[in-house]
Every structure is written in structure tokens, then in C-alpha cells.
Structure 1
Amino acid sequence: MKTVLITGCSKGIGLETALAFGRAGYKVFATMRNPEKAPALARRATEESLDIVIRKMDVDSDDSVKRCAAAILEEQGFVDVLVNNAGIERHGSVEEMPIADFEAIMNTNYLGVLRCTKAFLPQMREHRKGCIINVASVSGHIANSPLGGYAASKHALEAISEALAQEVKPFNIKVAIVEPGIINTKMAQDIAVDGASIYPNSKRQAALFSAALKTPTPPSMVADKILEVTESDSWTLRYPVGPDAVPFIEWRGSMTDEQWVDWNAVSDEEWYASVERDFGMKLR
């Protein structure tokens, strides 16, 4: 039986990914920061008789990752697949968002992936097999306010994943980046308007996310893609997921950097009109 370790399984994409792998016959080590506060996965695993073991692990902590990984490797001997899914979101303008929020985003979304990768990569390298899936985002290609801090963490994750893929392919270890668009998760639902901000971008992005979530894309779509990538023989590096993912990436790619800056700097009236014209979305 193949084994998989998945981070950030308390809800959303992580929870659905744990269920998808469990249903596919994997032994799943589903990790989360506070298992006692998130009983949903354990309940569903029991109802479906899935081989899902929930472990406490905080990807922000060196000690927590090392302890959890050591215990699993001692018990299991080998983990075939690592899914680095745990992530957080903070939003605000560069001027107004506290440094502590920037630090928290990078610690979880970037350094957390490195901690887990370093914990499980040596045994994959020694066995000359394995698969590492990093859950990034369309924001790994697109930077706009008020998601600058979040986008920075996902740009960093894209870059380190690309470098890692080069390093480990000679050892028959596959690295893939899954890039969700706007998915119906609590994180997406929490992109709220900051009425106190001196910048208009918070209101705009809240409207964009709200409109997208009226026809929601379920986190199970991302989970299914992660499982599909894991079991595929393909060594493709990047996998956008969701109906808006490729259009968003191509939209950004169609503009020069200067055009992108100018578009995001226009007045509210011009911005809303352009979104309606280009995407047919009435956000006002």
C-alpha cells in the first residue's frame, strides 16, 4: 500500500485531498495544527472506513515537523507522496498590513513547505523514488493588491519548486506544482472589504471573489487533480486548476508589466468597466 502525507487537512483542499487519497487505497497521514478543533475529517474517514491517520503537525515549527516526520518514518519506514498544502492568507496594502502578517504568510506558505520537504526528501532520495506536490496558486503568477503578501509567498513557492524539481529528478523524484484559481474555501470567502483602507483595491478584489464564488468551484476539484498528478507518469511541472485558473494566467500574460500596473492603478469606474468588458462580470 502506498502512503501519502498531506499538510493542512483540517478543512478545504487538504481535507478533500485526504479523502481522495484514502478512497484511492492509500494509507493517509493527514496532518494539521490542531486536530482537536477539526473533527470533520476523522468523522468522514470513519464513516467511509478509510485508512486515514490524523497527526498533529504545525508546519510553522521546526520541532513540530521534525517530531511528526520522525514518528511517521519510524512507524511506516517510507512515505511515497508528500502533499504540501498547508497555507494561510492575509491581505492588505503594503503600507497598511503589519510586518507580522507578512512574516506569518512566508513562514507557513514558503518555509513550511521547505520544512516538510527537508523532513521527507532524504528517505525519498535514498529509495530513489517519490512524489512531492506543492499547492501554490494562480497568485504565484499574478501579483495585485491587496494580495501582495500572499502572492509573494506563492511566487517564492513556485521558484523553489522549480529549483527542487531540477535537483531531484535524477533521483526519480517527481515535483509538481498545483495552482488553484478561486476555489470555494473559507480562505477565498474571507477576502473582505477593508473600509478603512486608503487604497481602493480591497473593495475591488472582494467583489471579484464574491462574483466568482456565486458559481463555486469545490475544493474536491483540486484534490482530484492532486491525486491525478500523483498517479500520472507525466513529469509536467505546473497544473492550473479550476475554470478561471488558465484564463487569469493568460490574461496577465497578455499584458506587459507596465500595462498590468496601469490597469490596477486606474479609477474604480475604469476598473469595474474593464472587468465587465473582458470577463462579463458585473461586480458593482
Structure 2
Amino acid sequence: MSKVVLITGTSTGVGLSLAVKMAEQGFKVFATMRNLAKAEKLKQQIIDKNLSIEILPLDVQDTQSIHDCVEKIISSVNRIDILINNAGAGFIKTTEHANEEEINWVTDVNYMGVVRCTKAVLPHMREAGSGHIINVTSVGGLVGQPFNEFYCAAKFAVEGYTESLATYIQPTFGIHFSLVEPGGISSEFANSVLQQIESTGGMKEDDYLPVLQKYISNAQSRAASDEGIYQSSEQVADVIISVAKNPQPPIRTRTSDWAESFTQLKTQADPTGIEQQKRVAQSIL
């Protein structure tokens, strides 16, 4: 029987590519998004490729929305084998410039959204004695970067959350946990970050301006170059699918050579995270 996968954030980018590719490869896909008005691209792919994908509403910031979606899937097919927490949002602003509402928002979307969705599916996976939760983070979940402190902090939180779950839920209940850590992605996600700067006040004339201008200029230059930094959504989706298909998946994996190089000082002793997981379990449990 086909494995049942629930994917968040499938209106664009990696989530859209994941839904299509996994359906093509025989998974039973439930593709979710906050705003179903943005489902047209996915609907067109379903028609063009004759795919079996069910689109459902799910807002990672709304516990009831998540509960309703999960219960609908369980009622329909009686299980969720894989949860891919893909929904997220970029955020570029200094600590001095960001207000508390913005900080709460980026933390809620990128971290609490993962917690809410994980909390909703865990009882069903635990009852089944199997499952796989894949959290899409970023190299920014391993390495802090300028002007990205709140985004990185939220992704760091997801990394710690996932590592902790893996130390006791995986060996006790047979549920695997994985982190997928892309570098740059050539998608609407990257474009939305620059749009977000403008929508939240743009670049202010202050002491930070020269550094921010340098940061943006370098980012645009890297995007225009061929240095292997930016991957397509399809390339990242392929890595996620390989993790989903792995019977003994890694705790963490990067999606490109550039991402490996960028995070090497943090990951070289234990690239997959499996040894650290074992050591923690042996030391504490």
C-alpha cells in the first residue's frame, strides 16, 4: 500500500515540487496550504500529469486548522506515514528594528508551526508504531547569519526540537525524525524575503544601512552567479524524497555541496547527527 504523506506549504517552491514528485513516485499525497486560493499552480500540475493529490487547507499558525486537517486524513485513510513540515517564511531585520509582533510572527510560523503539526500527528504514528517526521530547516538552522537572527533562531529551535524528539521517541516508538537543511533556493521564497524588507519599512537611513546594502548586494550577486549556492526547488525536493525513502534515515542532511561546505565546522564530526543521538540516549536514558 502507498505511504501516506502530509506536506505543509505546498502552494509554491519546494512544497509544490514535493507534492508533485511524491505523487509521481506513488505516495498518497495530502498537499496543504493556508490559502487555497493559491492552489492553482498545483491544481494545474494535477490535471497536466493526472496525479492523485488531495489538496486540503492547513494553517500552521492555527491549531484547530491543523487538527481538522489531520482528522480528515485519518478518517479518510486511517494513517499518516510521513509528515513533511515544509511551511516557513523568511525574515530580514535587525534586532533593533524588529518589533515584538514581527518577532513573534517569524517564530510562530517557522518554529511553533512545526511543533503544532508534529503534536497533531504523533499520537497516530505512536499508535501505529511507525512514522517519519521530516522538518525542512536551513543552513540557517546551524549557522547564524547577518540580518537573519530571528529566522535563524527559529530554525535553530526546530533543530533542537527535532534532535530531542529523536533521542527517545524514535527508539521507543519507531518514529523517525529528520532535518533537511538547504542552502539558497531559487524560488519565490527567496524573492519574498526582499519584498518583506520593503513591506516592513525598507532600508532605514541609520548606522545599519551600509552593512545591509552590502548584504543585499552580495546576495543578489550570488544569485546571479553560478557558484552552486542556489538550488532549484526540484533539486531540494529530490533530497527530501531520498530521506523519506530511506529505511534508516539520517537525523540531518544538507541538500548541496555548498550547504555542506558552509556548515562544515558545525557538522564534520557527525554529519548525519546519528552518533550524537546515540550518545545522548546512552548518557541520559
TM-score, normalised relative to structure 1: 0.85
Q: Is the 8 A contact 1:191 1:206 kept in 2?
A: no
| Structure 1 range deviating more: 241-250 or 112-121 | 241-250
Displacement after TM superposition at 1:252 (Å)? 6.9
Displacement after TM superposition at 1:112 (Å)? 0.5
Partner of 2:84 in structure 1? 83
Structure 1 residues 253 and 26 mapped into 2: Cα distance closer, same or farther (>3 Å)? Answer: closer
Instruction: Give matches, 1:74-113, under 5 Å.
Output: 74-113=75-114
Q: Render the CA deviation track for 1:194-219: whole Å, top value 9, x for unaligned.
A: 43153144223323322332234101
Partner of 2:168 in structure 1? 167
Partner of 2:262 in structure 1? 248
Instruction: Give matches, 1:171-182, under 5 Å.
Output: 171-182=173-184
Aligned pairs, number = 254
Instruction: Give matches, 1:76-155, under 5 Å.
Output: 76-155=77-156
Displacement after TM superposition at 1:141 (Å)? 1.1
Displacement after TM superposition at 1:144 (Å)? 2.4
Matched AA of 1:126 = E
| Identity in percent | 34
Q: Is the 8 A contact 1:182 1:244 kept in 2?
A: no
Displacement after TM superposition at 1:183 (Å)? 0.9
Q: Render the CA deviation track for 1:85-121: whole Å, top value 9, x for unaligned.
A: 0001121110001211111111111110111111111
Matched AA of 2:219 = F
* Residues in 1 aligned to 2:96 and 2:213: alpha-carbon distance in whole angstroms: 16
Instruction: Give matches, 1:1-284, under 5 Å.
Output: 1-169=2-170, 170-192=172-194, 194-196=202-204, 198=206, 199=208, 200-214=210-224, 215=226, 216-250=230-264
TM-score, normalised relative to structure 2: 0.84
Q: Cα RMSD over matched residues?
A: 1.7
* Residues in 1 aligned to 2:214 and 2:53: alpha-carbon distance in whole angstroms: 40
* Residues in 2 aligned to 1:249 and 1:138: alpha-carbon distance in whole angstroms: 7
Partner of 1:261 in structure 2? none
Matched AA of 2:181 = E
* Residues in 2 aligned to 1:107 and 1:188: alpha-carbon distance in whole angstroms: 19
Matched AA of 2:135 = N
* Residues in 2 aligned to 1:127 and 1:145: alpha-carbon distance in whole angstroms: 43
Gaps of 5+ in 1: 255-284
* Residues in 2 aligned to 1:133 and 1:197: alpha-carbon distance in whole angstroms: 41
Displacement after TM superposition at 1:226 (Å)? 0.8
* Residues in 2 aligned to 1:251 and 1:187: alpha-carbon distance in whole angstroms: 26
Structure 1 residues 197 and 55 mapped into 2: Cα distance closer, same or farther (>3 Å)? Answer: farther
* Residues in 2 aligned to 1:213 and 1:109: alpha-carbon distance in whole angstroms: 23
| Structure 1 range deviating more: 221-230 or 189-198 | 189-198
